[in-house]
């Protein structure tokens, strides 16, 4: 290896390094540099010195990735050419705009793009490192990568990247043992439709309990409260602790709970009157019944849905309706009490109409 000494203007000592190779090996070197994401030998050396080279290390996973990318025609979004690091040239702002059109909750789209930018390099080069992350974080990472695959397919009409992403997730078991119960998420509409169709086919007393939970969006303890609490017939602004029921001629009822326990609020909800009457006729609707209903839902959906997901489905469906996020937040008990009172007094008929339209495809 030959060295040439050079002194820069900042008095740093620089050396030029050259390597002697056979003429036939130069083409091999250039090919291997490109396979590992480098345009020149100089880029490779500087990346190696800075400690960036392990991100490009040509291990078995990277070899499989490179072959799959080449064979399936996955191209760099910027250059349109084959590149093992195609994901680096993804326009994050454009991806955010695309996802924002598909999710009613803006923060969800932003969080997906943020997780994509942070973990995409690791996901495509050393996905086994993601296994050490918490279940909550792995769920976000997997969601972000799946949405990236869908975005890529919409942009370039090539579904192969979606298949590759799913293959990586399953091969490295990145989606194992993920429990996210505290997150109100926005899911694909087709997925919700499939799950709701299965859930609504459940019959008997448990089916009645499940339907009420889905239509009302109430939390577990609130469901029991709605079943057990006495009903007051005074609808002239009564402030007692009993339930107040406003029945409408269009077949829907407004259930006014005004229940506050700690930080959990439940002002009022809207349900089909038939579902409400059937629910109140149940002999019992306590924790044990909800637990049995939970197991039944898990069994009927192959473990994809649980009882607590019914509240999330309710939120999703209303967010996508004319009620939008603001109305969904009120029925979910997360809005301010002033807003809830305003809607109950002045906007309730409009909310019922929006609720009716939102649920038509599911009823």
Q: Which domains does the chain have, with CATH numbers?
A: 2-57 (no CATH), 59-183 (no CATH), 189-359 (1.10.443)
In DSSP notation, 335-346 reads: S-HHHHHHIIII
Whole-number Å distance between alpha carbons of 325 and 250: 24
DSSP state of 177: S
Is a pLDDT exceeding 90 seen at residue 40? no
Is a pLDDT exceeding 60 seen at residue 340? yes
Whole-number Å distance between alpha carbons of 63 and 124: 11
Ranked by mean pLDDT, the top range of 49-63, 159-173, 206-220 is 206-220
Is a pLDDT exceeding 60 seen at residue 10? no
Mean pLDDT along residues 201-224: 95
Residues of the chain with pLDDT > 70: what percent? 79
Q: Which residues contact 20 (CB under 8 A, 6 or more apart)?
A: 1, 2
Whole-number Å distance between alpha carbons of 144 and 139: 9
Model pLDDT for residues 149-162, shown as the tens digit of each residue: 999 888 888 788 88
Asked if residues 303 and 340 have their Cβ atoms less than 8 Å apart, the reply is no
Model pLDDT for residues 267-306, shown as the tens digit of each residue: 899 999 999 999 999 999 999 999 999 999 999 999 889 9
Q: How confident is the model at residue 342 (pLDDT cuts 50, 70, 90)?
A: confident
DSSP state of 346: I
Distance of CA 74 to the CA centre of its chain: 25
Query: Backbone dihedral region of 231: left (phi > 0), alpha (psi from -120 to 50 degrees) or beta?
Result: beta
pTM exceeds 0.75 for this model: no
Q: Which two tokens stand for residue 138?
A: 């792995």
């Amino acid at each position: 290896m030959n060295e040439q000494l050079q002194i820069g203007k900042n008095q740093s000592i620089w050396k030029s390094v050259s390597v002697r190779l056979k003429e036939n090996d130069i083409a091999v070197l250039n090919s291997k540099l490109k396979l590992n994401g480098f345009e020149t030998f100089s880029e490779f050396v500087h990346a190696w010195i800075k400690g960036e080279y392990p991100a490009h290390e040509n291990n078995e996973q990277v070899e499989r990735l490179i072959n799959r990318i080449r064979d399936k025609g996955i191209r760099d979004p910027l250059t349109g050419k084959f590149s093992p690091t195609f994901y680096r040239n993804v326009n994050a702002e454009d991806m955010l705009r695309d996802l924002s059109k598909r999710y009613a909750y803006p923060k969800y789209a932003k969080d997906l793009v943020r997780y994509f930018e942070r973990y995409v390099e690791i996901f495509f080069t050393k996905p086994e490192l993601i296994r050490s992350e918490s279940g909550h974080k792995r769920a976000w990472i997997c969601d972000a990568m799946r949405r990236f695959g869908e975005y890529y397919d919409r942009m370039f009409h090539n579904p192969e990247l979606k298949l590759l992403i799913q293959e990586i997730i399953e091969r490295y078991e990145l989606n194992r043992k993920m429990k996210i119960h505290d997150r109100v998420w926005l899911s694909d509409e087709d997925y919700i439709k499939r799950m709701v169709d299965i859930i609504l086919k459940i019959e008997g007393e448990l089916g009645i309990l499940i339907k009420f939970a889905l239509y009302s969006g109430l939390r577990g303890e609130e469901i029991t409260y709605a079943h057990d609490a006495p009903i007051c017939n005074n609808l002239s602004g009564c402030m007692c602790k009993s339930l107040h029921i406003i029945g409408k001629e269009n077949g829907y009822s407004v259930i006014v709970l005004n229940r506050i326990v700690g930080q959990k609020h439940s002002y009022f909800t809207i349900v089909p009157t038939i579902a409400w009457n059937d629910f109140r006729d149940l002999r019992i609707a306590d924790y044990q019944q909800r637990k049995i209903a939970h197991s039944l839902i898990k069994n009927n959906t192959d473990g994809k849905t649980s009882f607590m997901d019914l509240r999330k489905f309710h939120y999703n469906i209303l967010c996508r309706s004319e009620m939008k996020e603001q109305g969904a937040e009120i029925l979910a008990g997360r809005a301010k009490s002033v807003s809830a009172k305003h809607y109950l007094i002045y906007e309730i008929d409009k909310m019922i109409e929006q609720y009716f339209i939102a649920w038509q495809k599911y009823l």
